[in-house]
Amino acid sequence: MKAKRKTYSVIVDLTKVQDKAKQRAFSLPPEWWEITEGPKYPLLGLDQDLEADITLTKVGKRFEVRGRFQTVLRLQCDRCLEAFNSPLNSMFYLILERLPEELEAEEEHELSPEEMGVDFIRGDEVDLTEMVKEQIFLSLPMKALCKQDCLGLCIRCGSNLNQGSCNCKVEQGHPAFQALKALRLQG
C-alpha cells in the first residue's frame, strides 16, 4: 500500500462564503514547500514556518481576498550560489470569480476590460496555500543576491570571492581576446 502523502491544502468552499466574511489563519511548516510541486528555483525553501491570515468576502458574484503572510525564505544567490535568508512579509489582494460554465470548456478566453484583474477559477473550491505559493513567486527578486555587492565566483577556479581572493591572476581585457591570446600561445 502506498503511504499517504501529507497534504497541507487549506480549502475554502466558496459556496459557504455568503454574507459573512470567512477568515482563515493557518501556518505552514518548511516541509510544505519541500513537497510542493512545480518549479522552485531560486527558492531553496523556507527557513521557518509560514504564518498566513486570509479573509474572503463575497461581493456580488465575486470574492475579494485579502491576505497577509510572513516567513523567511531561503534563496540561492545568483552570483556566488550560496544560500541566504530573506524575510518576507507580504500583503495581497485578489478578486476571484467563478468561470462561467459555458466558458469552462474554452481553452482561452479573451478578457474584457471589466474582467482585467480578476482571477477566474474553476469549481467552487480554492486552496489558500496555492494562493500563498503564487504570491511567494511574485515576491521573488529578478536577481537574488546575498548582498548588493556580492563578488560572486571566480570565473577560472570557481572560488567564492566573498571569502577572499583566489590565486588566479587577474587579467585585463575582454574574455574573447584572452581566448585568442591563448590560441596564439598554443600555435
Residues that bind Zn ion (CB under 5 A): 77, 79-80, 146, 150, 154, 156-157, 166, 168
Give strand pairing partners of 73: 46, 86
Closest to Zn ion by CB, 140 or 166: 166
Closest to Zn ion by CB, 112 or 172: 172
Min dist CB 161 to Zn ion, Å, is 8
Min dist CB 157 to Zn ion, Å, is 3
Closest to Zn ion by CB, 126 or 150: 150
Min dist CB 84 to Zn ion, Å, is 7
Closest to Zn ion by CB, 15 or 163: 163
Closest to Zn ion by CB, 59 or 142: 142
Min dist CB 81 to Zn ion, Å, is 7
**Which three cell numbers mark 142?**
529578478
Q: Are 24 and 140 in contact (CB under 8 A)?
A: no
Going from the C-alpha of 161 to that of each of 80, 84, 154, 155, 157, the distances in angstroms are: 8, 16, 6, 10, 10
Min dist CB 152 to Zn ion, Å, is 6
